[in-house]
Amino acid sequence: MSEISTAARQELVQAIGGRYRTVSADEKGRILDEFVALTGYHRKHAIRVLNGFTGRPTSTRRGRLRLYDEAVRQALIVFWEASDRICGKRLKPLLPVLLPALERHGHISLDPAVRGHLLTVSASTIDRMLSGARASTGGRRARAKTTPAVRRRVPVRTFADWHEPAPGFVEADLVVHCGESMAGSFASTLVLTDIASGWIECIALLVRDSSLIVDALERLRATLPFPLRGIDTDNGSEFINELLITFCTDHGIEFTRSRPYRKNDQAWVEQKNGSVVRRLVGQEGDERVRVERDHRCCSRRAAARRSSSRARARIASLEGIRPFNAPPAASIGSSGIGRRTTLSPRS
């Protein structure tokens, strides 16, 4: 007898299942024999099917009680954005430092229960709670690339195009404080230098981001002693973008850029980068490595000079020649390494 299809088996179960569960034991045996012969099922499996068991557990597993609510998740998103979207393992040790700082400066106000949960949440839970926000934003914040079309909208100004401008035309640059490596997240300083007066403004930025630069320029417009009339920047994507172009257009600010790889086009602000920012902030990573390297080189050279001087002195003593810069020879009859021995002829 050929096997019947799955659909036919299911129809057969629906047809005789109800009758099987209500008849006597002898009648159940006869129905079961016929059902096994038709379907080819094992006898025990046929009994379970006819009794209505589907193989799935009837009881549902009770999940864990939810400890962190939506308020904790929203607060974590704020700290995640403030820390440049770092992973949970890095954000966990940063929370005890970042949370009081944001509260102290009035950037966030938390319920005591939410604050306690933030300080006790684990790194893996942070990653799970931020998975939705990370998926919607594409992970870490990526710097926008400058397209040729955007770059063509900003005219070029060289060092020879400044013809005694009025106060308010500034050169802007971003000084990064990253030590030897550009990898990871690091702070930066936005430097603005006025061409006419030499006035300088420095604003610290947590990350290199065009929105932070626009916010800094908006604050500077209210504090500068002269109106902001023009901005000249390099070709970095933190400056050449739609956000800064729109800001300058809306406020009537002339926006220009230097030529690529021509630092002389921004000579005023480049000079302030070294004499003001680097002098105050320094380059701790580069300076420390350079000093340690120079110290090792000097130590090796000094050791080589000492070894060479001892070798020359020994050779000179054996040859009877006073070495260079050595003390004069001792009196007749004295001898030793580094001194010349004088012998008198017998009378």
186 and 255 inside one domain: yes
- CA 242 to chain centroid, in Å, comes to 24
The tens digit of pLDDT for each residue in 157-206 reads: 888 888 889 999 999 998 888 777 777 777 889 999 999 998 999 988 88
Boundary-marking domain end, from 281, 303, 335: 281
128 and 155 inside one domain: no
172 and 232 inside one domain: yes
221 and 111 inside one domain: no
108 and 220 inside one domain: no
This prediction has a pTM of 0.43
Question: Which residue did the predictor score with more confidence, 332 or 170?
Answer: 170
192 and 253 inside one domain: yes
Q: Both tokens of residue 192?
A: 């603005």
Q: Both tokens of residue 36?
A: 């096994």
- Give the total residue count for the chain: 347
Asked whether residue 320 is assigned to any structural domain, the reply reads no
171 and 106 inside one domain: no
155 and 265 inside one domain: yes
Q: Rounded distance, CA 135 to CA 334, Å?
A: 88
| Pair 214, 190: CB distance under 8 Å | no
CA end-to-end distance (rounded Å), the chain: 141
Residue 310, pLDDT above cutoff 60 = no
Strand order in the sheet with 169-176: 200-205, 188-194, 169-176, 230-233, 254-257
By C-alpha distance, which of 279, 276, 283 is closest to 201? Answer: 276
Asked whether residue 336 is assigned to any structural domain, the reply reads no
Report CA torsion sign: 227, 230, 235, 241. positive
Instruction: Quote the mean pLDDT of the chain.
Output: 77
Question: Which residue did the predictor score with more confidence, 254 or 297?
Answer: 254
166 and 275 inside one domain: yes
Boundary-marking domain end, from 84, 110, 137: 137
The tens digit of pLDDT for each residue in 227-254 reads: 999 999 998 888 999 999 999 999 999 9
| Pair 156, 257: CB distance under 8 Å | yes
Predicted confidence at residue 124, as pLDDT, reads: 92
- Segment among 127-131, 172-176, 304-308 with least mean pLDDT: 304-308
Predicted confidence at residue 335, as pLDDT, reads: 38
85 and 172 inside one domain: no
Structural domains of the chain, count: 3
Question: Which range of residues forms the domain containing residue 200?
Answer: 148-281
Residue 80, pLDDT above cutoff 60 = yes
The tens digit of pLDDT for each residue in 263-294 reads: 888 888 888 888 888 888 776 544 444 444 44
Phi-psi region of 325 (alpha: psi -120 to 50; beta: other; left: phi over 0): left
